Structure 1
Amino acid sequence: MSDNTANADNYIERMKEAKDKAAVLKYRLVTTRGDLPDAVIFVFEGDDDKTVYFNWVSRICPELEYEPFTCRGKRKVLQLRDVVLRDKSDLADGIYFFVDRDFDDLQGHPEHENTFMTDRYSVENYLVDDVVLKEFLKNEFHCHGNPKVREPIIRAFGTLYERFLKVTEHINLRVFLARKLGINASALPDRINALVTLQLSSVTVVDTALPDIVRLDREPTEAEILALLEEFSSLAPSHRYRGKFSLKFFEKWLELLAADYGDDNTIFFGSIDRVAKVKRSEITLGSMASKSPHPHGLPDFLQGVEAPSKQSNAA
């Protein structure tokens, strides 16, 4: 590698790091506020959260207008919030922050009336739900008017999802330990086949060593594991295990279900007319959110949202 190439790569890395700094995020936020002085601003962890919350807010408070602002992760949202709350002007007026609970809640930051945290691990945990599947079956899978076709599919999904959560328990525990102990973890798996081997009616753990699935800067000690094991065991897996893992499972299973719909030897759809094709392009994050339950407490939080002009007048 030439010196020029190395310098260019280093410059790109520095630029990426700079974009993450709270001061830079504050500058972006101030610029947005300057362009939209009367707007409510919702700060999200990323684009997926922005999409999901758009659907939830539209259902709960269709009259509420806001401008989305995204950061690069939960830590940056909370750092930006701290900077905004320390600001001596009225910058915080009309700005609200949304974070996932994850395994580390608010990461030691205090609660605040302008901050909403999910009661489940993340927004994805609300999307992997029987209600969402039922609506997909009615519409995208053309099983409307056929509850006797839908019900076995929903039962089969529930059984397999429970199995998936069980076989990935050790992976979730490792992530949990890392978050609780402040151990840095490299990029977590973002493909379902890095976690499990999934078929329409079966799921098995991959033959990969756990330290290679979730890479940590150091291994937790036996004493650290024992101290945290009871807390981890108390978590409800479907609500409190890592949501991105569950969503990958759901997305892949829906792909397999769509393939079964088109198969001459279908397992689930033999009793219905399958002239129409599954609407795969309409099975998206947004469509899941439009059908899913929303976080507990979100309606009350949204009812308390006020534009900056109203807050200033109240002050």
Structure 2
Amino acid sequence: MTNRKEKMSNFKNEISVIFRDYIKSRRLKKEAIQLIVEGVDDPKYYTTRFNIFLNPEWNITSVGGKSKVLGLKEIIEKHPSYKNDECYYFIDKDYDERIFLDKTYCTPTYSIENFYLHPTCITNLVTSECGLSNYSIKERYAILDYINSDYLCELENFHKNKKIIKINSVFKFIRNNEIPTTSLDKVLKIELHSNSIKIKHLKEYQKLKIENIKNYRKFLETEDYHKFISSPLENFRGKQEILFLKYYLKRLYNDGELSKEIYSNFGVKIKLENPAMADKILSNVSNYAYTPDCLKNFLLTIKSSK
């Protein structure tokens, strides 16, 4: 109980600090729409979309997690001086059900990272980064179809891998049952090397397994579990999806497996022009990532309210 009280106290203190930062940002940019996102990597995805769909005056703040976004929202909306502010909030669905709150956008997928795995992202990326917009490549559309088919096949195999299903099922069980952990990354860890997927059982996993194995097995028999694993691109953890995308893009490097296949089948050398594309993927691939209609509509609603 003491540990729980300490966590609650620390959370309240953090929210107070975040709120003070919000007031400071508001004073510096009085006319700007205030946009609150979860993590420090989120602006890499959202900034491009905000520039396209919103008016120039906006300010983005990362607060360090979903609970902190919602905590700040609650404080602002109850505050007599700030409750009418033009402030909007952006959160990830995570392993929860999608939530719908006023002035709040919740992803239809686990997180924004999942948008990077959408098939349109791959099509746009290879068209731009592998030179497949060049009219002189006679079979460029056939090559695009080949890459798209290959990508969907590889992604399906990744999602059907028992280790990927296991880690996501364990994490969902932990989150849905509010089982205390230091971090999900301290329970299980995935390592992806070429076609090899390894799962590491970390220290916290053994303790959790002993205490929860019976209930976990019951969870595996539920409709909720089967619904969850039936839509992996939407429901599986974004961090793991990004690991797959890194692996896949490396197949398009100069000496990559997919580049060799394309040359063998079409007689054309296709490779990623930027050899560092897979290294900082959230930044490098952001422009190509999928923008769902629900996000477009949310941003257009903000713009029309000005």
Normalising by the smaller structure, the TM-score range is 0.7 to 0.9
2:295 to 280, 293, 298: 298
Tell me the alpha carbon deviations over residues 129-161 of structure 1, each in whole angstroms, 9 at most, x when there is no partner. Answer: 221112222221223341222322221221111
Question: Which amino acid is 2:117 matched to?
Answer: V
Match of 1:41 in 2: 34
Q: 1:149 to 1:19 in 2, by over 3 A?
A: farther
Match of 1:242 in 2: 237
* Aligned residue-pair number: 281
Match of 2:112 in 1: 123
2:208 to 202, 214, 218: 218
Match of 1:161 in 2: 155
Match of 2:25 in 1: 32
Match of 2:88 in 1: 96
Q: 1:238 to 1:293 in 2, by over 3 A?
A: same
Shift of 1:31: 0.8
- What is the percent sequence identity of the aligned residues? 20
Q: How does 1:60-79 map to 2 (within 5 A)?
A: 61=53, 63=55, 65-79=57-71
Shift of 1:57: 2.9
Question: Which amino acid is 2:297 matched to?
Answer: D
Match of 1:138 in 2: 127
Question: Which amino acid is 1:155 matched to?
Answer: S
CA distance in 1, matches of 2:93, 2:176: 13
CA distance in 2, matches of 1:300, 1:155: 30
CA distance in 1, matches of 2:304, 2:76: 16
SS of 2:105's equivalent? strand
Structure 2 regions of 5+ residues with no counterpart?
1-9
Shift of 1:177: 0.5
Report the aligned-residue RMSD: 3.3
Contact 2:116 2:242 in 1 (8 A): yes
CA distance in 2, matches of 1:94, 1:240: 31
Question: Which amino acid is 1:298 matched to?
Answer: L
CA distance in 2, matches of 1:78, 1:30: 16
Between 1 and 2, higher relative CO (CA 8 Å, sep ≥ 6) is seen in 1
* TM-score, normalised relative to structure 1: 0.77
Question: Which amino acid is 2:144 matched to?
Answer: R
Matched, 1:23 2:16: yes
Shift of 1:213: 8.7
CA distance in 1, matches of 2:168, 2:111: 14
1:254 to 249, 257, 261: 249
SS of 1:47's equivalent? coil
Larger fraction in helix: 2
Match of 2:275 in 1: 280
CA distance in 2, matches of 1:262, 1:62: 41
Match of 1:151 in 2: 145
Contact 1:185 1:216 in 2 (8 A): no
Tell me the alpha carbon deviations over residues 67-123 of structure 1, each in whole angstroms, 9 at most, x when there is no partner. Answer: 0011111121111111112212234511111000011247xxx84311110111110
SS of 1:42's equivalent? strand
Question: Which amino acid is 1:218 matched to?
Answer: L
SS of 1:297's equivalent? helix
